[in-house]
Amino acid sequence: MRKINAAIQVLPQSKTLHPYAIVDKAIEVIQHSGLKYRVCPFETVVEGEYDEIMKLVKEIHETCYESETESMLVYLKIQSSNDRDVTIEDKMEKYS
């Protein structure tokens, strides 16, 4: 299976925690996933196979709800290709 890129933005709501504290927990899940990622100001871009990323999205949901999230919006953007891997470097190398 080919690699894809997914941009994941989590917008949690909680009466007891600041949203940034919950977003930090979501980023920790991504950091421990073993997948290549890049944290950006509005979202985190992750590179991996489709099934790996969907599993990660589920883990993020579970972690956020375990961390006092009452509700959340999760925005997910996916870039894929039928004939090649999609990598973070493809989009970012000219800016490095």
Residue 63: in which H helix or E strand, if any? helix 50-66
73/71 Cα distance (integer angstroms): 7
75/30 Cα distance (integer angstroms): 15
For 2-12, how does the pLDDT look when each residue is reduced to its tens digit (9 = 90+)? Answer: 999 999 999 99
Average pLDDT over residues 43-52: 98
Average pLDDT over residues 48-72: 97
Band (pLDDT 50/70/90 cuts) for residue 95 is confident
29/77 Cα distance (integer angstroms): 18
What token pair was written down for 17? 């925690």
Domains of the chain by range and CATH?
3-95 (3.30.70.930)
Single pTM value for the model: 0.92
Residues 6+ away with beta carbon under 8 Å from 82: 2
